[in-house]
Amino acid sequence: MYPKSIQKLIDIFSKFPGVGPKTAARFIFYLKKVPEKEVENLLELIKHLKKDIKTCSFCFNIFEGPGAKEDLCPICQNPTRDRTLLCVVEKEQDLVSIEKTDKYKGLYFILGGTIPILKKEKKKIKEKELKQRILHPEKFGLFAAEFKEIILALNPTAEGKATMLYLKRFLKPLDKKITSLGLGLPKGGELEYADEETLASAFERRE
């Protein structure tokens, strides 16, 4: 139906997370109508993303390195962050959500995924990299750090919980304090629809 190259473009956009063929088509007709300049910006920024955006040697977060020498992201470089706290998150967006709360001043480690519940898929989380960074942060460019608490800030979903359980066992030999986030009713939530585990935790954590 669509010209061949348009169909190819639809196929590529359809691989974007949460995008189907209809949405992909809408993207294309949007791009066809948008000013030349804006599209050029988009292409430039995507190239920049692939070429110049670095991944932090310690926490695996992405960052913009003005100088080629740097290997650490701004958070890991920041001397005012508390280097006794390490917060393990699944992905970059979770790190950003936590930073927005402005409540956490320690460092991060991006695990890169969770343990799949379905046996078929194979686990692709960075548990070994995590262990090494807890034991020898200096080997990865982070100095004057000694972690006293490892916060497993993963989603309280089935996958997230399985992963936290796995990591607790995996990190046990390191003999560090390992914590996870408190369950509770979210802002706007209702007791009537809360599961028992969530409600019990909200009760224990009352203040």
Residues 143-182 that bind a copy of itself (CB under 8 A): 151, 153-158, 179-182
Q: Which residues, numbered 40-59, are part of the site for a copy of itself (CB under 8 A)?
A: 41-43, 45-50, 52-53
Verify binding: residue 4, a copy of itself, rule CB under 8 A.
yes
Find the shortest distance in angstroms from Cβ 87 to a copy of itself: 9
The span from the CA of 81 to the CA of 44, in Å, is: 33
DSSP string covering 82-145: EEEEEEEESSHHHHHHHHHHT---EEEEE--S---SSSSS-----HHHHHHHHH-GGGGT--S-
Site for a copy of itself in 105-144 (CB under 8 A): none
Per CB under 8 A, the list member of 96, 117, 165, 174 interacting with a copy of itself is: 96
Gap between the Cα atoms of 123 and 117, Å rounded: 10
CA distance linking residue 94 with residue 110, whole number of Å: 9
State the nearest-atom distance from the C-beta of 165 to a copy of itself, in Å.
Answer: 14
Q: Which of 91, 126, 131, 176 binds a copy of itself (CB under 8 A)?
A: 91
Number of neighbours of residue 148 by Cβ within 10 angstroms:
12
Local structure of 63: helix, strand or coil? strand
Could you identify the residue written with the tokens 């088509």? 25
SS3 for 47? helix
For a copy of itself, the binding residue among 72, 76, 88, 98 (CB under 8 A) is 98
Q: How far is the CB of 139 from a copy of itself (least distance, A)?
A: 25
- Where does this chain touch a copy of itself (CB under 8 A) — which range of 2-10, 117-125, 138-146, 166-174? 2-10
Amino acid letter, 91: K
Residue 80 makes contact with a copy of itself by CB under 8 A = no
Q: Is 199 in the site for a copy of itself (CB under 8 A)?
A: yes
Least distance in Å: CB of 1 to a copy of itself?
A: 4
